Structure 1
Amino acid sequence: MHHAMITWLVLLVFAFVLGTGQAGPSLNNCNPTKAEATCQECINLGPGCAWCKALNFTKAGEPNSARCDSVEVLKNRGCEMVDIINPENMANVKENRHLGVFGDTVIQIKPQKVQLVLRRGSPQKMEVKFKRAEGYPVDLYYLMDLSYSMKDDLEKVKNLGGQLLEALKSVTKSIQIGFGSFVDKTILPFVNTHKEKMKNPCPDKNEACQPPFDFRHVLKLTNDANIFTAEVGKQSISGNLDPPEAGLDAMMQAAVCGEAIGWRNVTRLLVYTSDDGFHSAGDGKLGAILTPNDGKCHLNAQGFYEDNTKYDYPSVAELASKLAENNIQPIFAVTSKIMPIYQELSKMIPKSAVGELSEDSSNVVQLIKDAYNNLSSTVILKHSNLPDGVRISYTSHCIDGDTENDKKGTCSNVRINEEIRFTITITADKCLTKAESFEIRPLGFTENLEITVQTECNCKCDDKPDLSEHCDNKGKVKCGICSCTEDRIGKFCKCDPGKRSTLDLDAACRRDNTSATCSNQGDCVCGACICHTNPNKKIYGKYCECDDQNCERNLGKLCAGHGKCDCGTCHCNSDYDGTACECEKAEEQCKQDKDSKICSGRGTCTCNQCKCNAGYQPPYCKECPGCPSPCPTYVHCIECLGFSSGPYQKNCTESCQNIKHTVVDELTEQNTCKEKDSKNCWMNFLMKELDGVSQYHVTIRKKTECPEPTNVIAIVIGGVVGVLLIGLLILLIWKLVTELYDRREYKRFEKEKAKAKWNDADNPLFQKATTTVFNPNFNED
């Protein structure tokens, strides 16, 4: 009992860690489209579909597709569990070392290797644990903008090495730092390519500046602060033309040139400092650079990015991918004026941080320390490229609750030595041709979980390789159905194939693709139905679809006792009628008078009552209220019969055989028809429907109504004269208006003139001087 309890607990824990992978109630339709379906086709319909391999499971006439259904349905139909094929997911943990620090080995994620065998469409859950280790090693590469505006910042950075090492030693004992710098692409319009400016790009010629460059790797990662101080101390400022810099170029080279930079397999930080924006993909066209960035290392022996004028700047997406691929976490230390730009950039680069840099970079050490603590306390679990047809989702079990995401698992504020959990659900939506692998890793850390996935899309039925008596010794049993040799076909390999296949034989025993073989009332033997014998009814027909009992009954009697049942239809005796032969034949109530046709020729008389054609109304099928008027339909017949013209003129008798007509001088009845003929004249006529289908008598008025011909000459002359008269009238009106306006203006002028107060000799514009000045030296001589 004690051992049984321990075993039960172990199984329970294993199920909790890896998940059962068992699908819930299936919503799939477990009905294969082919009647002769196979076990493989069945289980690939979905995780809820199973196959019964028992030899005699299907009944006579049932197709092989009847073996495919849910487990419960198959059990209820008598299939034993040992005969039910229903593959389930399997998970095998290949490596599951404990979390912690073991000497130089740090393990922060568990398990490390898992092998999954998945059934198509069936989700598999597994649990991943992460524990943040204390003192995790760090590599920090300092990437600095050396454009002229960063002159003051460079002096601070030259004394930065010891401070950085000392600050980060509080969180890790293993720290390395390196240095690189960037300006911009060495081509117009990014830098001044004048010969003198390419030697010294500083605004002041007397000031020493180094030649412009795109990216330069200065110092490989080292733990010696003195070397950092010495190498950075040799650096001098440079310059370029436009404000944005080649920052993305520099980050790309720092990420992909791992050997030159000296990255270890530890936490990798890339500190990026600048006081301006950055160029991105497409900006290179300004300098006629059309080749996209290839994401490869192009550093020469001196550490310069030598192909910077050949390749365009990288896109943000391409850079983010390379940073994640190389496990690098960027820290953007930028001035306040451009912080919004880099905050937006950080949103597109997972596991990155942004800090405000003082104008002279004096706070950069504290900024880096704070950003590192923030990045390392955020755990982001992401996967590499998934195999085609495989999808994944995450459930993060964090301190502040559970969250679900299809792209990543995230927990924030994770403390050192704190263990967190993620539940990962992996589903294969299609069958894989081979085993494929992918990785799940916490961004910013070197450990990963390697998952190998393969799919189980075939049935393992443990069939014997020998010929079976069940298949007439002419075939082998495969999952309960016969696989015949080349010289035999059929459900039990009893038939000579000729030019036919088993599917052809099966199709010959079906009325259509959806019906059962021989209507489930016979056996299909080599393409022909042999109907079952039944003491209670006679079964017959090409597909055994007929019997002599399946007909309508009246008063409990088959065909009311007045006829015979034949394949679902009652054939009544001569003096009885009705679908069940329930009434005596009579037609008196189906005629309006003795000379009328039965139901006016537009219906059938059953049990002395009319069943009218669509639209016509009982009792005699005379009226059809909803039917359209026949007048427009027979307008050509009316024209040829009444006026010997129109399209039917040459074959009027043949085209209008269903119409009788009379021509009269006037029509006295109401509701006459009025339609235009081929000459645009109106024809008046009256149509009355006769017994039968589309039979009419038409009374036509002898005379048509034609419109008067148009007098073209009068219209033309009248139009010309009218235009001239209108033009002349407009001119007269204009002359009259201008004359009246001129007269009114002249009168106003005369009135104003009469009011004038000056003499005719005076100038009304002249004014006398208001002040007179005398010169005492002037004698008026």
Structure 2
Amino acid sequence: MDWFLFLLLLLMGRNELSQQEEVCSKSVINSCGDCIQSGKYCVWCQQLNFTKAGEQDAVRCDTQTNLIRRGCKREEIISPKNHLTIVQGDALSTSFNQQEPVQLSPQKISLRLRSGGSTTFSVSFKRAVGYPVDLYYLMDLSYSMKDDLEHVKELGQALLAALNKITEYAQIGFGAFVDKTVLPYTNTNKEKLLKPCDENDQQCQAAFGYKHVLSMTPSVKEFKSKVTEQFISGNLDSPEGSLDAMMQAAVCGNKIGWRNSSTRLIVLTTDAGFHMAGDGRLAGILEPNDEKCYMENNLYTNSIKMDYPSVGQLAMQLEKNNIQPIFAVTQNVKTVYKQLSKMIPKSEVGVLTSDSKNVVQLIESAYNRLSSKVTLTHDNLPDNVRVVYTPKCDHAGSPGDNEGVCNNVRVGQEISFDVTVTATSCMEDTSFIIRPLGIKDTLTVTISTDCECHCEDPQSRSHPHCNGKGQVSCGICTCSEGSIGQFCECSIGNKDEHALRASCQRENGTDCEGRGDCVCGRCNCHTTESGSSYHGDFCQCDDEHCEKFLNKLCGGNGKCNCGKCECHGGYEGSACQCRVSEEGCRTLNNTVCYGRGTCKCNRCECIEGYQNPRCQTCLGCADPCQTKLNCIECLGFDSGPFKKNCSLACSSIYHEMVDQSTIQNKKCHQKGSDSCWIKFNLDQLVGEDNYKAEILNQRDCPEPPNVTAIIGGSLASVALIGILLLMLIKLLIYMKDLKEFRKFENERKKCKWAEADNPLFQNATTTVANPTFTGE
């Protein structure tokens, strides 16, 4: 019983979910084409007179269920259908018989979808029994693979025998690689380039990048002969040029010998990692790989001119040429190639023994894994197209947007995929390819969108529905020149149609708010469902959407007018929910809210700042002792900043006695503008800013200074200070002179004068007597 209830609830939930999904999200709808582009569930009613008077034509666009509910006949509903046409659908081939087999059906499909619409079709696949296989054996011939090469020389017969179990149309080819013959990958010494192996090893060929040895052949003898001619080579670093070799093997299809109809395999055998895009810069090789074939005389000529390819480039070319790689590698690099395999679709990794003896079993197992996994995917999908694959097989993967997968598929077993294609928006005709990975067969899907309605309209250009001034298009009128209106009822003459419609539109741009008809630039309002009329310049008003109280419009005590209640006498409030009363707003001194608010619904609504319940106190208001000080000065002492316009600036203060009740008394002691202290009382009266002032006594002002005493005292002080400074300077000069004199005396006492005669002084040697002198 519990399980039954659970299933019932689950089914009900799914039903509700499906109903919720059918939603038409409309935006601006002016025509049937706009409607069907709005979403896959949007349909259009072309029925004449479907809209009510003044309704916009946008109501014609909705889900089919809603339109039928509104009265639209089912045959009058326009909903473009999705069309699928199989252009080519050849039957699947049973086996390969020297003709091109068909493994994928259909081969060409044409889709025409409505915008947002989707369609699902089935794609079948069956691998043809005996389908040809081309296997290209690509071998690492660096010195560490010496033992493996000796075994591969005897491998041809066993390898073809394994392939012949799958098909009698098997071919095998051979290629070899080492690395780019430049430093730091290979020793560029001339002797080392010619013989890069150990000196004791006589059979060693010159270093090379990639060499194509044998094109596809079914001959075991030819394979053995060509491979026997190969010898080991060598290089310096551990990673090899594997990606270079695989890229050339993929893009040089004519030289390799890939057949058009075959399963193409590349078996890469190596014991080392690989270089990839960017590594070429180590050797100064900056030109990126261009994914083109450069083979001359079976050698890759651009090996030292072009960088290694990236993994993405290689994966793209392998997929494009339907080549499936098998990485036969040694245990030490298994992890590296496992990661590489994740980035290359349809690839496998197997572990070689040290001498490659198990390579045949490895290839056979890898091929079986590749062939048993069928992956359906697409190429070059347009931006506004989405594809979902749902596999229909015993071992199916989950549905996916990028691919569908079936596992454990046997050769000759037919499987199918449901492919759902969705066009998310309108677009021009385009196409894309669906293909199984690694298989040549493709399905070409051509897709176009249907974004316009195809209505069967009357051909008359003067239809009566349009007052003879227009024709009907999908149920709505297309007016002739000179007429406008929903039914072409207005002649505009030389007036601009857009200007007339604009005069009927408010901010949201809808004609008459969707509640009336715009007739020659003026709204004619409709009636509501209850029979009353819309009104207003834009039909924006109605008398049915006012606030309710006790589930009654305007509480039953008023009339609704344009969304607002007009209360009867004795009632008030937004919904006329209150009787007019001031009982709850009365104060002790018999005022209403102390004159600082209004009484609504028997409750005070206070002026900003004042607090309920009766607006007595004010939070955040300034101290009145400070704010009223200037008025006290001018009213009581005829001084201060307000002296010139005291009566005007201080009208809220009553200096004389007034007959009003005091709400609050405040004692103030403030310092005025002339530094006089004033004591006064402020009695707060009823009202927002009403006070009665009482000055208690005269101002307490400081005594004025004695100017004469100050000036006389100041002059005497200045003179005294000047005399003292002069005496101090004189004393300092005297002390300095005394110090210098004493220093001079001390130095003079220390001097000792020489008493010897001056050797330069000579007494006179000639005495001359005056002959006239008598001695008297």
TM-score range, shorter chain: 0.7 to 0.9
Residue 118 of structure 1 aligns to which amino acid in structure 2? L
Aligned partner (choices 277, 294, 319) of residue 290 of structure 2: 294
1:660, distance to aligned residue in structure 2 (A): 6.1
Relative to 1, partners in 2 of residues 1:112 and 1:557: Cα closer, same or farther, differing over 3 Å?
closer
TM-score, scaled to structure 2: 0.73
In 2, the alpha carbon distance for the partners of 1:700 and 1:415 equals: 114
- After superposition, residues 441-460 of structure 1 pair within 5 angstroms as 441-460=435-454
Aligned partner (choices 35, 42, 47) of residue 49 of structure 1: 42
State the match for 2:755 in structure 1.
none
Bigger CA drift: 455-464 or 554-563?
A: 554-563
Tell whether the 8 Å contact from 1:518 to 1:543 is kept in structure 2 after alignment.
yes
Tell whether the 8 Å contact from 1:335 to 1:359 is kept in structure 2 after alignment.
yes
Tell whether the 8 Å contact from 2:397 to 2:404 is kept in structure 1 after alignment.
no
- Give deviations 1:235-293, integer Å, cap 9, x for gaps: 22221110100001111111111122121121000010111111112211211222322
In 1, the alpha carbon distance for the partners of 2:202 and 2:669 equals: 105
1:143, distance to aligned residue in structure 2 (A): 0.7
Q: Does 1:37 align with 2:30?
A: yes
Relative to 1, partners in 2 of residues 1:177 and 1:500: Cα closer, same or farther, differing over 3 Å?
same
1:641, distance to aligned residue in structure 2 (A): 7.7
In 1, the alpha carbon distance for the partners of 2:171 and 2:351 equals: 24
Relative to 1, partners in 2 of residues 1:651 and 1:295: Cα closer, same or farther, differing over 3 Å?
farther
Relative to 1, partners in 2 of residues 1:400 and 1:551: Cα closer, same or farther, differing over 3 Å?
closer
In 2, the alpha carbon distance for the partners of 1:555 and 1:144 equals: 91
Aligned partner (choices 67, 92, 96) of residue 99 of structure 1: 92
In 2, the alpha carbon distance for the partners of 1:587 and 1:411 equals: 84
- Give deviations 1:605-636, integer Å, cap 9, x for gaps: 45766455688666644357xxx52349x999
State the match for 2:127 in structure 1.
132
State the match for 1:726 in structure 2.
none
State the match for 2:277 in structure 1.
281
Tell whether the 8 Å contact from 2:631 to 2:650 is kept in structure 1 after alignment.
no
SS of residue in 1 equivalent to 2:334: helix
Q: Does 1:71 align with 2:67?
A: no
In 2, the alpha carbon distance for the partners of 1:267 and 1:643 equals: 111
1:547, distance to aligned residue in structure 2 (A): 6.7
- Give deviations 1:142-183, integer Å, cap 9, x for gaps: 111111222222222233333322221111010111111111
1:700, distance to aligned residue in structure 2 (A): 13
Bigger CA drift: 210-219 or 71-80?
A: 210-219
- Give deviations 1:359-398, integer Å, cap 9, x for gaps: 2222222222222122112212222121111122222233
1:71, distance to aligned residue in structure 2 (A): 0.2
- Give deviations 1:445-496, integer Å, cap 9, x for gaps: 2222222222222222233455232334443332222333454433233241
Tell whether the 8 Å contact from 1:658 to 1:696 is kept in structure 2 after alignment.
no
SS of residue in 2 equivalent to 1:78: coil
State the match for 1:727 in structure 2.
none
Q: What is the number of residues matched between the two proteins?
A: 653
Aligned partner (choices 250, 253, 264) of residue 258 of structure 1: 253
Tell whether the 8 Å contact from 2:54 to 2:526 is kept in structure 1 after alignment.
no
State the match for 1:776 in structure 2.
none
Relative to 1, partners in 2 of residues 1:585 and 1:195: Cα closer, same or farther, differing over 3 Å?
closer
Q: Does 1:592 align with 2:587?
A: yes
1:410, distance to aligned residue in structure 2 (A): 1.6
SS of residue in 2 equivalent to 1:126: strand
Residue 175 of structure 1 aligns to which amino acid in structure 2? A
In 2, the alpha carbon distance for the partners of 1:186 and 1:270 equals: 24
1:689, distance to aligned residue in structure 2 (A): 7.7
Q: Does 1:524 align with 2:515?
A: no
SS of residue in 2 equivalent to 1:127: strand
1:354, distance to aligned residue in structure 2 (A): 1.4
1:310, distance to aligned residue in structure 2 (A): 2.7
State the match for 2:673 in structure 1.
none
Tell whether the 8 Å contact from 2:90 to 2:107 is kept in structure 1 after alignment.
yes
- Give deviations 1:679-723, integer Å, cap 9, x for gaps: xxxxx99999865567789999999xxxxxxxxxxxxxxxxxxxx
Tell whether the 8 Å contact from 1:510 to 1:518 is kept in structure 2 after alignment.
yes
Bigger CA drift: 130-139 or 393-402?
A: 393-402
SS of residue in 1 equivalent to 2:341: helix
State the match for 1:433 in structure 2.
428
Tell whether the 8 Å contact from 2:501 to 2:511 is kept in structure 1 after alignment.
no
In 1, the alpha carbon distance for the partners of 2:478 and 2:669 equals: 76
Bigger CA drift: 222-231 or 176-185?
A: 222-231
Aligned partner (choices 222, 227, 233) of residue 228 of structure 2: 233
State the match for 2:173 in structure 1.
178
Aligned partner (choices 496, 510, 513) of residue 508 of structure 2: 513
Tell whether the 8 Å contact from 1:518 to 1:524 is kept in structure 2 after alignment.
no
SS of residue in 2 equivalent to 1:107: coil
In 1, the alpha carbon distance for the partners of 2:599 and 2:127 equals: 92
Tell whether the 8 Å contact from 2:89 to 2:107 is kept in structure 1 after alignment.
yes
Tell whether the 8 Å contact from 1:202 to 1:239 is kept in structure 2 after alignment.
yes
Bigger CA drift: 138-147 or 479-488?
A: 479-488
1:572, distance to aligned residue in structure 2 (A): 6.7
In 2, the alpha carbon distance for the partners of 1:700 and 1:134 equals: 121
State the match for 2:160 in structure 1.
165
Bigger CA drift: 483-492 or 522-531?
A: 483-492
Aligned partner (choices 415, 418, 421) of residue 420 of structure 1: 415
Tell whether the 8 Å contact from 1:439 to 1:451 is kept in structure 2 after alignment.
yes
Structure 2 gap segments, 5+ residues each: 1-16, 635-639, 656-663, 671-678, 701-776
- After superposition, residues 276-355 of structure 1 pair within 5 angstroms as 276-300=272-296, 302-355=297-350
Tell whether the 8 Å contact from 1:518 to 1:531 is kept in structure 2 after alignment.
no
Task: Give aligned-pair identity as a percent.
Answer: 48
Q: Does 1:629 align with 2:620?
A: yes
Bigger CA drift: 359-368 or 525-534?
A: 525-534
Q: Does 1:121 align with 2:112?
A: no
In 1, the alpha carbon distance for the partners of 2:684 and 2:27 equals: 52
Aligned partner (choices 69, 76, 89) of residue 83 of structure 1: 76
Bigger CA drift: 561-570 or 419-428?
A: 561-570
RMSD of the TM alignment (CA)?
4.4
State the match for 1:359 in structure 2.
354
Relative to 1, partners in 2 of residues 1:307 and 1:24: Cα closer, same or farther, differing over 3 Å?
farther
Aligned partner (choices 54, 58, 80) of residue 61 of structure 1: 54
SS of residue in 1 equivalent to 2:300: coil
- The structure with the larger Rg is 2
In 2, the alpha carbon distance for the partners of 1:694 and 1:88 equals: 77
1:350, distance to aligned residue in structure 2 (A): 1.6
SS of residue in 1 equivalent to 2:216: strand
Aligned partner (choices 597, 604, 607) of residue 598 of structure 2: 604
Residue 201 of structure 1 aligns to which amino acid in structure 2? P
State the match for 2:147 in structure 1.
152
- After superposition, residues 612-627 of structure 1 pair within 5 angstroms as 612=606, 620-623=614-617
Residue 526 of structure 1 aligns to which amino acid in structure 2? C
Relative to 1, partners in 2 of residues 1:207 and 1:124: Cα closer, same or farther, differing over 3 Å?
same
Tell whether the 8 Å contact from 2:397 to 2:406 is kept in structure 1 after alignment.
no
TM-score, scaled to structure 1: 0.73
In 2, the alpha carbon distance for the partners of 1:69 and 1:60 equals: 19
Tell whether the 8 Å contact from 1:144 to 1:180 is kept in structure 2 after alignment.
yes
Tell whether the 8 Å contact from 1:42 to 1:50 is kept in structure 2 after alignment.
yes
Tell whether the 8 Å contact from 2:121 to 2:419 is kept in structure 1 after alignment.
yes
State the match for 2:5 in structure 1.
none
SS of residue in 1 equivalent to 2:250: helix
Q: Does 1:196 align with 2:191?
A: yes
In 2, the alpha carbon distance for the partners of 1:674 and 1:142 equals: 110
Residue 462 of structure 2 aligns to which amino acid in structure 1? S
SS of residue in 1 equivalent to 2:299: coil
- Give deviations 1:509-553, integer Å, cap 9, x for gaps: 244427673662x42102201345899767643224457898789
